[in-house]
Structures are given as C-alpha cells and as structure tokens.
Amino acid sequence: MKELLGVQLKNWLISEGFSDYWAVLLQSVIAAIIVLIVAWLSDFIAKKILISIITKVVRKTKTHWDDILLERKVFNKISHFAPAFIIYSSASLIDHESWSNFVENGAYVYMVVLAIMLLDTFLSASNDIYNTMPVSKTRPIKGYIQIIKIFFYALGIITIIAVLFDKNPLTIIAGMGAFAAVILLIFKDTILGFVASIQLSANKMVNIGDWISMPSKGADGTVIDISLNTVKVQNWDKTISTIPTYALVSESFNNWKGMEESGGRRIKRHLNIDVKSIHFLSEEDIHKFEQINLIQDYMKEKKEEIQSSNPEGEIPVNQRRLTNIGTFRKYVEAYLYNHPKIHNEMTFLVRQLQASEKGLPIEIYVFSNDQEWANYEAIQADIFDHIFAIVPEFNLKVFQNPTGDDFQKLMN
C-alpha cells in the first residue's frame, strides 16, 4: 500500500511535467514531510494526551508500584516508539533504495536504543518496587538487576552492529568468541562483583542498613547501597566509603547486626590498679565497708564465713582475710548489677587480667541495654566516672605513669 502511494505520487509529478530525477526527488521530499508531520502528531498524541490520561489514572490508584513506574518515566519512554515506528514503516515511501535503507536502518537502530533504555528504566523501577517489600532488607537484588542490564546492553549493541553492517547477529556473537579473553579482562571486576553479590546474598553476610566496620577500607558505618561492583557505607562522620563488592568476600570485616539484634551493646574497658595499694582489710576497714548499701550483705556473709573458718589464736598469715581489691571488685559487680542501663541477662564479668608493669587491670565486660551510639558512650562514661571516683574509698590507687607534676614534687 505504501509503495503504491509512492508510485502514484511519482507518476502524478511526472504527469505535471517534472523529469524522472526531479519527480523522484520531490516525491521523496513530500513523503518525508508527510511522514514527519504524522510522526510529530503521533508523538504529540502519545505524550500530551495518552501520558496525561495514564498519569491521572495512576495518581488515583491505591497501589504504589504504578507510581514508581510513573516516577521512573517508563510510560514516557514507551511513547517514543510511536514516531519511531511510523518513520520505520514509512521508509519505503522514499523512491531511492539507498536513502530508504538509510532511513529504515536509522529508525530501527533508534528503536533498539529506545528498547534498551526502556528495559533499563523498567528494571530500575522493578528494583525500587522490590525495595518497598520487607524481604529486600535481607535479599537485595540490585546486583542481579545490573547483570540483566549488562546482558540487554550487550544484546542491543550486537543488534545495532548487525544492522549497520548488514550482518547476522549470530555471526557477530560467534566472532566475539576470539575476544573472550579480552572481554574477561575488561569485565573482570564485574564478574568478580557478580560472584561476590551471590555469595553475600546467599550467605546473608551483609544487607542494606547493617552496621559494618572494615578498617582496611576506612569504613565504619551503615550500608546504604549494595550494587554489582560496589558497596556504599555511610560512615558515622557522614562521609561515604565505597568498597568493591568482592572485597567483602576476600577480606575480613565486622558486621554488628548480631549485636543490634541481641538487645545489648558490649562494654569492655579496664582500669589499672596500683599494686602497691593492695592490702588486707583491717577491722576498721570492714566496719567502714559494712555501711555501704551495695555490699552490706556481701560483707556480712564474708565476715561470718571468715570468723567460722579461722581458729582462735591463729597468726594472721594463716587466716582467711578479705582484701580491698576483692571487696572493690564485688562493689563494682553490685554497682553494675543495679545499674538500670546494664543488660543483666547477657555476659556479665568484672575480672582481673594479667598484672603488668602498669599495675593490675580490673576489666569490666558487660552489655548495655541501650544500643544508640550517643547513649552508649554516655553510659560508659557515667560508669567509669563513678568507678574512678570510688577507687580511693577502698584505699586503692589507679596506676598512672609519672607526669611533670610528679617530677616537680620530687625536685621540691
């Protein structure tokens, strides 16, 4: 039908006295103008009328996924096919084989590009829709979406090359086998990232929203994005660290998700006690410590136990006796046990570590029941403020290397 219209237009121009050359030229120009006008009208109708109607309908629906498709402009990209298809199907109106093939191939390539862009946008919208579901927190699919995009981009490029050089796409694909090594080298990071994405997802090693720390990459914060090649971490100082996806598989990192899900956050700190200040308790000391509410029961129990086990007249060195360091440790245990911000159902230790030239370390190993960073740091500070201040009450001293003040006192 299109060819018949072109022939009729050409014959009419010849009948009007135009030569064959000018008749063909004018016929092609008139056909091109008509096709462009029709294409413009189809584009106008698709964008201004159909898209407006679709937009109004989508805004009124209760579903959320169609809003995402609208925001990603999926429908707008579909509308571009209308003028492209009209130009492609009308290329035969040009009564010149070379020009007709040029227009037809150009329109075909344009539609392939549109198809790739449409698929890219649709896949991105699909990922956005998936991210609205609870399962996306533990099973991100962005890496898989990117692999599918790469596949379609490669397929589109091969199709365009086949059209431009008038070759069979299968022939081009077969010829690319010789460049497999080069392709593997070019896409090395992509291939490694794809494999790493599968491992991360299958083993649930890291998810969006997890707090991870990876000192080798300078990362310590919340995972905000997991893609095929990179994982983005927003550090606590609000900077963004970009880590290669495969690095999370090949190197070690800490995922604090378990801590966050446990309901507690570990406090593991110690203070060094000057060994020279450690001694047995005197009767005066015992009486003094019996007045401390937190260890009243402990002191009473220990006092009775020692009195019953020590024979009368035994020299002190052979007797069981309380020490100020042991009493202090029990006080710290009682203080922490009664602290409203300490999780008593998780690991709870107040222990001695190996003594060194810096004194005897008393380590606190407990968990706070508030995991928020600022609150957690405040809890630690409050606990150690109290502990450092209470140490002298047990006739103990905190070990500290000599300072300029100490040397000044010696000189005086």
| Distance, CA of 282 to CA of 288 (rounded, Å) | 10
Strands 360-368 and 240-244: unpaired
The DSSP symbol for 352 reads E
List the one residue out of 12, 33, 38, 40 whose CA is nearest residue 94: 33
pTM of the model: 0.52
DSSP per residue over 194-263, as a string?
HHHHHHHHHTT---TT-EEEEGGGTEEEEEEEE-SSEEEEEETTS-EEEEETTHHHHS--EETHHHHHHT
* Cβ 206 vs Cβ 226: under 8 Å: yes
Give the chain's largest Cα–Cα span: 145
Q: What is the pLDDT of residues 192-241, one digit of tens each?
A: 777 777 777 766 788 888 888 888 888 988 888 887 778 899 998 889 99
| Distance, CA of 33 to CA of 93 (rounded, Å) | 11
270: which strand partners? 363
List the one residue out of 58, 56, 50 whose CA is nearest residue 81: 50
Q: Does 86 have pLDDT greater than 80? A: no
Q: Does 407 have pLDDT greater than 80? A: no
Interaxial angle between packed helices 188-202 and 142-164, expressed in degrees from 0 to 180 and rounded to the nearest 10: 150
pLDDT at res. 279: 92
Q: What is the pLDDT of residues 237-296, one digit of tens each?
A: 889 998 888 888 888 888 877 776 677 888 999 999 999 999 998 889 888 999 999 999
Q: Does 104 have pLDDT greater than 90? A: no
Q: CB-hemisphere CA count at 13 Å for 61?
A: 14
Q: Does 7 have pLDDT greater than 70? A: no
In the block, which residue shows the tokens 């991100």?
140
